[in-house]
Amino acid sequence: MKKIINIGIFAHVDAGKTSLTEALYEFTNKHYQKGTIKHGNTMTDSLDLEKERGITIKTAAVSFTWDDIKINLLDTPGHVDFFAEVVRTLEAIDLAVLVIASNDQLQPQTRKLFSYLTDVGIPTVFFLNKVDLETAQVKEITEEIYEKMTKEVIAYDKLNEQATWESLIEKNENLLEHYLTGERIEDTTLKQEFFSQFLSKKCYPQIDGSAVTGVGISSLVDLFAESSRYLWNESAELSAYVYKVDFFNRKKKTYWKLVSGTLHRNDHVQLNSTESIKLTHLFSLQENVFLPAEIIEENDIFMIPNDPAFQIGDYIGLPVKRKTEIAPSNLKLVLSISKEERLTLLSLLEELNQEDPLLSLKIDKKTEEISIRIYGKVQKEVIEETLRRAYPFETLILQPPTILYQEIPQKKGIGELVMQEPINPYWATITIEIQPNWGQGIQFSSLVSKGYLKQSFQHAVYQGIEQALTEGLYGYPLTDMTITLADAAFFSPVSTPAEFRKLAPYALYKALLDANTDVVEPLIAMELFIKKEYSGRAIAELGKLEAKIEKMTERKSEVVIQAKMLHSKFLFFESQLNEWFKGTAYLKNHFAGYKKTNDHSLYSQGNIDRIKALLIKDLK
């Protein structure tokens, strides 16, 4: 069985990532004349939008064989707004190449990508590109890597030098003991030790090269091939999962990775451990196209066309534990459209949503508002261009992105609605208790015995509550509260689950009125890495934005500031980074819960109907 290895190529914009893919393919296919982004004829940037912008938007794949090993290269987006596409690629790869331009300073995006790779645990090789240029500063950029990313760098082309293998020996107590007694360590042992440390993320090989002249390409291919020999872990247990969905000319393609086992065309397999399906069409990656295949071998990537059922995350055989979870965006983008063009827009958005489930396409049942979630300005621009290329919309308007606010109860609240009281039109009695539980999301429990109130009735209450969570007192979704069905009663001749389902949202609303709610905004925890001369400016700007500075640390040439701030303030701060700090600041951030907003304009009454109006009146 042929060994197969999957390589992800990562880089900041313009570091030469796509050019490196071209150089690798040309090196292993002498008949191929490599393309360039300038001429728009590269193998992986195939979308018209990618060619025009000169950036990778979707992960693309190309395959070649070297030393009887199949090497699949996945070329990933370089822009931060497409990081969800980048992170999903991490699920499919064995190794990563982080391309770094040697004629520039270490870019913040490079540091962010390296952070993703180390968090997920992907063995990574640094490829210092553009060393052929007169402006290359290999020594300086290597020193930056040591200081700002990792000190565990190994020059791959110097593996046979004493200083290199001594650094490897130092990290292995057994080898160090033998070495200190004067025993000679065999070259094969040192080679095995290097790959052991590399694949366990204890060291990071560095190759200096050029995608244009071909310097370093043979070393990189050699590293791929040798790594595959140490990664091989054959298993008979079938396991595969979807890592990507793509639509081309309105036709769906689903991309899979076969983690273990072997697949044959017409095999019957278990999808998501629930249903048996027959795989009538399998396509294997050959060079830069997927061709019909009779068999898919372990660790390969493959494609299944035109099956509407498959979604990102689906699996066949054994379930696959994900390496990382992607936090959804807190930015909402509303799309306005005329009735005449609405169905066309929704059809295209559904395709985009299948390609990227984090868009979280939503249609408001009451207002019919269409919205998605995005991560930033460039993603918004690409979505709009993609839609307009697919159809000449005349009425489409993408509104400015807004923060997704939430509501959280201030305290414990009780909502009781009793049968036959004037305000209650349903044959049901429900008592709901709510309690804030900061940081734990929505939790539901019941104190009512299922021997008294049947499961179907209790499930109906849960369904009614779930539907009502989309809108609190002020029209925002509810979060971070524990909801308890404290009591219930029914009148057996006429009470039905539907009566409980319809009443539950009003019992919840009454409990919310009792507790009152705060409108809360996402809170962002951040680490800001800046040059020391900018620390005063950073502190001043953070102060203006009401950020809470929690810690400051000095490094050799940097200051690291840890702080928390509201998302709306963070968006402005992030947009000014390049201007304030001359493009040198590196920012790490993550969602850190919610904080009450002081924007009183957000506290306007949400949608109410007759029963809610009566509940409000009774409260007063």
Say what percent of the chain tops pLDDT 90.
Answer: 68
Q: 27 — phi, psi (to 5°)?
A: -60, -35
| C-alpha–C-alpha distance, residues 70 and 65, integer Å | 4
Q: What is the pLDDT of residue 330?
A: 87
- Do residues 127 and 179 touch, judged by C-beta distance below 8 A? no
- Do residues 590 and 327 touch, judged by C-beta distance below 8 A? yes
Given the DSSP bridges, would you call strands 251-260 and 301-305 parallel, antiparallel or unpaired? antiparallel
CATH number 3.20.20.70 given to 405-620: no
| C-alpha–C-alpha distance, residues 429 and 418, integer Å | 4
- Do residues 230 and 246 touch, judged by C-beta distance below 8 A? no
Mean pLDDT value across residues 155-175? 91
Report the chain's C-alpha Rg in angstroms: 28
Mean pLDDT of the chain: 90
The pLDDT confidence band at residue 137, using thresholds 50, 70 and 90, is: very high
In this predicted structure, the answer to whether residue 619 has a pLDDT above a threshold of 90 is: no
Q: What is the pLDDT of residue 273?
A: 92
Express each pLDDT in 544-562 by its tens digit: 999 999 999 998 889 999 9
Q: What is the pLDDT of residue 90?
A: 82
3 state SS of 360: coil
Least confident of 78-92, 160-174, 235-249, 516-530: 78-92
Element (H, E) at 382: helix 377-390
Mean pLDDT value across residues 87-107? 90
In this predicted structure, the answer to whether residue 428 has a pLDDT above a threshold of 50 is: yes
| Helical pair 377-390 and 339-355, crossing angle rounded to 10 deg | 120
Q: What is the pLDDT of residue 202?
A: 94
Express each pLDDT in 574-592 by its tens digit: 989 999 999 899 999 888 9
Express each pLDDT in 256-295 by its tens digit: 999 999 999 999 999 999 999 999 999 999 988 899 999 9
In this predicted structure, the answer to whether residue 376 has a pLDDT above a threshold of 70 is: yes
Q: Check residues 620 and 315 and name the one with the higher pLDDT.
A: 315
Which residue(s) pair with 526 in the sheet?
563, 589
The pLDDT confidence band at residue 187, using thresholds 50, 70 and 90, is: confident
| CA 221 to centroid of chain Cα atoms | 28
Q: Which has the closest alpha carbon to 462: 430, 423, 414, 495?
A: 430
Express each pLDDT in 60-84 by its tens digit: 789 999 988 999 998 776 555 566 6
Express each pLDDT in 208-223 by its tens digit: 999 999 999 999 999 9
**CATH assignment, 3-231:** 3.40.50.300
CATH of 331-404, one of 3.30.70.870, 1.10.132.20, 3.40.50.20, 3.40.50.300: 3.30.70.870
Tokens of 421: 């009281």
- Do residues 245 and 88 touch, judged by C-beta distance below 8 A? no
1 residue type, one letter: M
Query: Under CATH, which architecture does the 239-317 domain have?
Result: Beta Barrel (2.40)
Residue in this structure with the two tokens 């019992």, named with its chain if needed: 507
Mean pLDDT value across residues 471-486? 95
| C-alpha–C-alpha distance, residues 306 and 289, integer Å | 16
Q: Which has the closest alpha carbon to 604: 478, 516, 473, 470?
A: 473
Tokens of 382: 């690409």
Least confident of 2-11, 81-90, 118-127, 343-352: 81-90
Q: What is the DSSP string of 309-367?
A: T--TT-EEES----S--PPPPSEEEEEE--HHHHHHHHHHHHHHHHH-GGG--EE-TTT
Say what percent of the chain tops pLDDT 70.
Answer: 93
Q: What is the DSSP string of 138-197?
A: HHHHHHHHHHHT-S-EEEGGGTTSHHHHHHHHHT-HHHHHHHHTTPPPPHHHHHHHHHHH
Domain ranges, ordered by start, for the chain: 3-231, 239-317, 331-404, 405-620
Residue 457: CA count within 13 A, CB half-sphere:
24
In this predicted structure, the answer to whether residue 171 has a pLDDT above a threshold of 50 is: yes
Mean pLDDT value across residues 79-101? 79
Longest dimension (CA), the chain: 94
Tokens of 468: 């009502």
- Do residues 315 and 261 touch, judged by C-beta distance below 8 A? no
